[in-house]
Each structure stands twice: as structure tokens, then as C-alpha cells.
Structure 1
Amino acid sequence: MSSAKQFTVAIVGGGIGGLTLAVGLVRRGVDVQVYEAAPALSETGLGLSIGPAAHRALPLIDARIRKAYDSLVTTHADSPGFERFRRTWFEFVWASGIRAGEMLLELKCPPTGQTTLRRTDLLDSLVSLLPLDLVRLGKRLQTVQETAGAGHRLLFQDGTSATADIVIGCDGIHSRVRLAVLPHDEALHCRPRYSGMYAYRAVLEMQTAIQAVGERRHRVATLYIGKGAYALTYPIMRAQKVNVGLYTADMERDFAHMGPLVNALIKYMPDTSSQWAILELDQVSTVCKSRVAIMGDAAHAAHASTPHQGVGAGQAIEDAHVLAELLSDPSVTTPAEAEAALRAYGAVRLPRAQRAVSTSKENAQLLCLCREGVGDDAAKLTREWQQRFRWLWDIDVEQQVQDARDAMLELLQNASCGEAHCV
């Protein structure tokens, strides 16, 4: 523990968000312990993609994370002959009707383009950057209690407990830490619920996918748009395999109208394809209370609840960047000062995260051609997608941290003036 820091941090949840924050705090000399419910570290889901903003945040958290990420990712340039698509994010293709198979839009995302990798590969890299004893497994949180000394006791289902001054919940959409953060009535009603959509996901061999719908459609990340449903594919594992996602209510029945390309894919989907209910979570009124905070899907569920923009992991990385910088700031040495850091984090990050959730829902409507005022109008869809992601991709992540730091310093100054009876 850094001699300057007089507080300890407990991170609940050992997913990508929690471990990214842990790496950032360890690098900055903050005493931290991670508690993970599962008996082994693993990630649900198959492929993962982050946008330019999170990509810029990675080296600011720890240069080793960015180095690991860049060594693992697949880009369009990994397919010989497709180097010109290096900065392409997705191609949008009509799935059915008289335009079936025609491309509506090639959306570019400079400078990174589409970068994808397996979630488990990134998780393994994060684990390798942490001390072996920093992550405690099999610790499923039951509740968080505030102690007499203003610290917190974490009670686990196995009967054990732990203490920490600061608690950060990175425990996903079914977060237990969230119950300790939200007002009582809000906590009772803020529970995940079925959104009406399912996702069917699988990984296919590249050659199998090419046999189904042709080389271009699987060498280049593709979104198939259709009435009431959509599908996506993108290359992973150095373009040796293809990640496939189908979003609807029932795979065979609800994609029957989606045209030859999507239905050709379905024929090759294995019987073991994973099926995930897409859940919804009401937007929370706050992400911190006293010295407890939530981040990632626990706070905004941009991945688990509304995955239709592919920003969940990126938002968790942005959360981790801000928290790591604030908690390690030289002006933050005591638990009370760390509380101000959590409040500043919430003030800056909550509005952006909530916007990510709401716009993700809107994007699902666009992809399913049911957005009011847009429908299947090609010109309107093109305009929407050409401008809709700029605010997500183009944010200055260093300025975001500075804004949070300024808010924190103002809180600390006000607290200091209050104690000294300043005017």
C-alpha cells in the first residue's frame, strides 16, 4: 500500500471492468482486493469490441493493457486483400426484400476501425498483470454493511466477510452492490427484466461462414438489417473464425423473413449456439452513496441490458480510467477524500453512461427498421448512422478525467472550508 494512501479498496466482480480498474489502481499504488463470485475467472459472451475512446483510455490506465489488447485483436487487415477496410467499423447490408444483399452503408471508425477479440483472451491478459493473491475467488457477495468507523464490511454467501474503506461494485447487471447504493425504494424496483429480445450467438469457422454467404460478408464486419430483427458478424482470432449474433425472439421462426443471407447463416449455426435474453434495467439515479460506488454493467448495463451499440466494455473501461485517476490523485489520501472522488466520478460518468444506454435502445430500433420517423428509409438510416456514434467515439478521455478531477477538487475545497468555517 502506498504510504500516502490511508484507505483500502474492495472491488466486487472480476470481469473485464473490475480487473481493468484493479490493474489501474495497483499501478498507482492503491491498496485493492478483488472479490469474484465464480470459482474461476471467466467471461460470458464470445467476442468483444471497443471503440476509439476506450482504446485511447487503455494506455492511460496502464500501457501494458493496451499492449496486450493490440497483440490480441483482429482487424480487417488480418485478411489478405482486405487491408483497405482497416478503418471500417461495419458494413450495413439489407437482409431481405428487393434490396437483399445490397450494401446500405460502409461506416468508418478512424483511426481504429473494427477491432475484435475473445473476451476470455483479454481477461487472461488482465489477470497476468495482477499479483496472484489479489483476486479472491468463490466470494459471492450477499450484502454490504457500513461499520461504526465509516468503513464497510462485505458479507459473502460462504459465511466469510471482508472489510474495506471503499467498495466498488463491478458485479454486473444483477449487482448486489447496487442495492447498497440506490435509495431503498429505487433499489426495490431497479431489477433486470426481459426486454422482449433474445440474442443467439455462436462462433463459426471462417471457411464455413464463407461457404454460407461469401467471403466479403465475413472478412468484413457486417450488420444485416431487417424488419423486427437484425444479425451481425465479425472476424475474430486473426480472421480464422467468425463471431455471429442474431437478435430477435426466436431464431428459426423470427428470422424466416430475413432473406437468403441470414438464413444461410442459420443453417450453419450449431445446436449448441448460446441463447441470451436481452435484459432491461431502469436508469439509476446515482452511482455512489457514501463510500460505495458501482461501475460498468452494475451502473448502466450498456452491454448486458442494451448491447446494440457494442459499447458496454468501452463504457466500463472509461469508468475504470476515471476512478483509477481520481482515487490515486495526490489530493486523495483519506477515506473521506476518497468519498469525494466517488462523487466526482458519478457526476461526470453517469450522464454519459445513461446516454449510451438510451441511444443503444434507439439503435436497436434502427437496426430492426422500426424507429419512428425513420423506418426503412435508406437516406434517413444513412444520416442516422453517419452521425450517431461520433459522441461515443470522439470524446477527449483525458479531458473527461480532468473534468472529474476539477469536480473532486471543488468538493474537497468546500469540505475544507466547511471544517474551517470559511465563507
Structure 2
Amino acid sequence: MSGPHSLPIAIIGGGVAGLTAACALARRGFPVRVLERAASLDDIGAGLQISPNAFRVLDALGLGPRFREISLQSERVELRDTSGAMVARLDLARFRPQDEFRLVHRARLVEMLADAARAAGAEIELGHDVHSIPRDCRLVIGADGVKSRTRSLLNGTQAPFFTGQSAWRTLIPAEEEPAPAAQIFMGPGRHLVSYPLAGGLRNIVAVLERPDWQDEGWSQPGDPNDLRAAFARFGGPVPGWLERVQQVGLWGLFRHPVAPHWYRAEGDGPALALIGDAAHPTLPFMAQGAVMAIEDAWILAACLDSGRELGAALQHFQSLRHPRCVRIVDAANANARNYHLKGPARAVAHAGLRTVSRLAPGQMIGRFAWLYDYDPTTAV
């Protein structure tokens, strides 16, 4: 790594984006402070899927061995219908054996990143709710999530579009020796995703089309009986899983445009930059929200460490990231429709998936080579 640098940096937000950026920057010799609103980095959130494009960053930060300890390997993705019958299978272990697809509890990932950032020399200030831009730094990085105040400073107020879908998220005890797979059960107007996590847990996210809406953000409590009623016609392992649900979070799914402006280098006060959900909130249907945040963090640090003038470095960062993030967000939007097909369209689509999965199984995972082959550590 390079360093040391005299450019003092403040990061607003101590989630996956902010802490990865703190680690990547501090290891390059930048003086970094993370300002996190929460009083503690405790067990918040639920499961995350980390694909190889993000694992390459964690490994480059020296965190590969530790990350393997706190996560599970995902060997395949299974698309199933409401009965539980297989529609298609993406065999990750067979067709991408060299790659790391991992399943992890968000709290364990945040804990690992916080430890690594502190070890690299970053300061993390908890209970620090930022209402105005810090003036004692040269650059402020907004990693403050989907409701980012920093984003509004660069892009004004942008009203999100409610998708007509709401989601439940919960954790239950996993069965003994759970299948090392992410399973997606698709039904008319609804779908359910589940996969195991380290520590004997199973993550469940269930999405339903509904005319009403809930607040954006997954911290609102929901009723487990509503979840069970919405997926009462699903078969396979789903009924048994849902019977074990004791508490559940509920949130509305909103679609946001990717921010047109990710940085400001001129004017009064410090420069500003956006990463993670502050720049490109996404629906959860490609499992790339945390992955994009990790990619952003590494590439921003590399751009700032490239010898470019600050404004040129931030411009280069946006030029590298904006097209890729738009493509991922658009793909997630498309999956929101594809998982919920009804009637003849659903029958035709499922028949096509079954045929491709049987006759050309490598083609299924090959469609995502553009996503998983990307290496952020060589992008700058």
C-alpha cells in the first residue's frame, strides 16, 4: 500500500460502504474518521450474499481468511416454483469453482470491517449524528445509506418511486446440515429467498405485491402471521421455515434513480463524494447492494491514491462506477418483475428456464459473467 497522505477524510456512515472505505483508505496512509449515528455496531441487519467481485476486495485488504471464518460458501442458486419443484439451477461450484460466493450475517461483516479499519489506523466515532458537513477535513465521503443527506446536497431532493412491493426479513434457526444454496421460490405476485448463515441461522426475505406501502428501511416490526398467510400456498420447506418465525421486519421497496452527481470538488468547504446506497440504492433482487458498496470503497480509495488532483480523482471514480452500477440496478429492477410472473407468461418463462437448465446448465451462470468476473482491484 501507498502512504502516508496528508488529505484528511471524514466518512459519514459506519455500514459496509463506510467501513470498507475506511479500511482501504487507512491502509493507504490516509487519515480517516468514520462518523456513525448509532451508539454501537451491534447485531443489526440479517443475511448478505457476497459474490466474487466483492470477495476480491476483501481478500486484497487481507481479510479473506477471516471472512471465510464468519461466512458460509454458497455452492448454487436454485430457482423453484410455489410447490418447491426445481425450475432452474445455477451451479456455482461446478461452473465457477475458482470463485468465492459467500453467505454472511451483516453484523459479522460489519464487525470484521470495523476491526480492520481500526487496526489500519482509522478512527470510528459512534453516536455521532451528522447534521452539517464537517469542516475540519478536505474530503467528506457520504456513505449514509438510502436516505443520505449527503446525496441531497449534490443532487437535490429526489422522490423515490414505490414499487408496489413490500418485504419481510427474518432469521430463524437453521436445520442441521442445511443445503449450501440460495433458494428462490417464485409465485404469482410474490417470491421468497432463503439461505443459511454461519452460526446455525437461516435468512429469509419474502416479497409480496400489495397496494399499500410501508416505510422504506427494514427496521419496522411486522406480524409473523401476515407473512405466513401471504405464503400459505407455498410448499417444499417453506411452511416449516415460516412456522419457526417469531419476529420479522417489514419494509416497502422503493426504486431510486442512480444519482447523476457523485462528487463535488469545488466551492466553499470540503469536497464531497458518494458511495454505496447513497449513490445507487438498489432493489435486493440481484444480491449486489453490499457488493457494490465494497466495490465503490476500494475504487474510490485507489482513485484518491492514484496521484491525480482531487477533482480529477473523484471524476475518474464516478466515470468508472456509474455505468456499472446503472447496469446492476437495472438488472435488479428486471428481476423484480421476472420473479413475480403470472398466468401464461409465468408458465412459458418457467418452461424456458427448465429447458436451458437441463440442456445447457453452464449458460445460466454464464449470463452473469459480466457481473462476477469484474475485478475492482485492477479497475483503476
Q: Same fold (TM over 0.5)?
A: yes
Return the match for 1:143 from 132, 135, 150.
Answer: 132
CA positional deviation for 1:255: 2.2
Displacement of 1:47: 0.9
- Looking at structure 1, the residues matched to 87 and 143 of structure 2 have their Cα atoms a distance apart, in angstroms, of 38
Which of 275, 278, 290 is equivalent to 1:295? 275
Counterpart of 1:262?
238
Asked whether 1:164 is paired with 2:144, we answer: no
Counting only pairs closer than 5 Å after superposition, residues 77-88 of structure 1 correspond to structure 2 as 88=75
In the alignment, structure 1 residue 377 sits paired with structure 2 residue 349: yes
Q: Which has the higher contact order (CA 8 A, sep 6+)?
A: 2
**Partner of residue 128 from structure 1, selected from 115, 140, 144:** 115
After superposition, residues 264-283 of structure 1 pair within 5 angstroms as: 264-270=240-246, 272-283=247-258
Identity rate of aligned residues, in percent?
Answer: 29
CA distance in 1: counterparts of 2:367 and 2:344, whole angstroms: 16
Q: Which runs of 4+ in 1 moved over 6 A?
A: 371-375
Map 1:322-361 to 2 at 5 A: 322-329=299-306, 331-332=307-308, 337-361=309-333
Matched letter for residue 326 of structure 1: C
Contact 2:188 2:341 (C-alpha < 8 Å) held by counterparts: yes
Give structure 1 stretches of 5+ with no counterpart. 77-87, 145-153, 155-161, 402-423
2:208 matches 1:231: no
Shift of residue 375 of structure 1? 6.2
Q: For residue 376 of structure 1, report the CA deviation from its aligned partner.
A: 4.7
1:52 aligns with 2:31: no
Equivalent residue pairs, number: 345
Deviations 1:43-96 (A, max 9, x none): 642111111111112223x11x223212211125xxxxxxxxxxx33111111x
Within 2, Cα distance between the matches of 1:133 and 1:349? 24
1:116 aligns with 2:103: yes
Residue 117 of structure 1, CA deviation: 1.3
Uncovered stretches (5+) of structure 2, i.e. residues with no partner: 211-225, 266-270, 357-362
**Secondary structure of the corresponding residue to residue 274 of structure 1:** strand
Give 1:363 shift. 1.0
Contact 1:143 / 1:176 at 8 angstroms: preserved in 2?
no
- Residues 396 and 23 of structure 1: is their aligned pair in 2 closer, same or farther, counting only changes over 3 Å? closer
- Distance in 2 of aligned mates of 1:177 and 1:130: 22
Deviation at 1:220, TM superposition (A): 3.2
Aligned to 1:72: 70
- TM-score calculated relative to the size of structure 2: 0.83
- CA displacement, residues 334-385 of structure 1 (integer Å, 9 cap, x when unaligned): xxx1221111000110111111111101112111125997765224346595
Retained in 1: the 8 A contact 2:161–2:256? yes
- Please give the root-mean-square deviation of Cα atoms over the aligned residues, in Å: 2.6
Distance 2:86 2:370 in 1: 25
Q: Which of the numbers 74, 79, 85 marks the counterpart of 1:102?
A: 85
Report the CA distance shift for 1:43/1:296 in structure 2 as closer, same or farther (over 3 A): farther
Could you say which structure has the larger radius of gyration? 1
Give the counterpart letter for 1:181 in structure 2: L
Letter in 2 for 1:128: D
Contact 1:143 1:177 in 2 (8 A): no
Which residue pairs with 1:411 in the alignment? Answer: none
User: Do 1:234 and 1:244's aligned partners in 2 also have CA atoms closer than 8 Å?
Assistant: yes
Could you give the per-residue CA deviations for residues 281-322 of structure 1, whole angstroms, max 9, x where no partner exists? 1222121122211010111113xxx01111111101110110
Of residues 355-364 and 42-51 in structure 1, the stretch that sits farther from structure 2 once superposed is: 42-51
Kindly tell me: are residues 171 and 228 of structure 1, through their superposed partners in 2, closer, same or farther at Cα, counting changes over 3 Å?
same
Deviations 1:239-271 (A, max 9, x none): x2211121114624432343464344322221x
TM-score by length of 1: 0.75
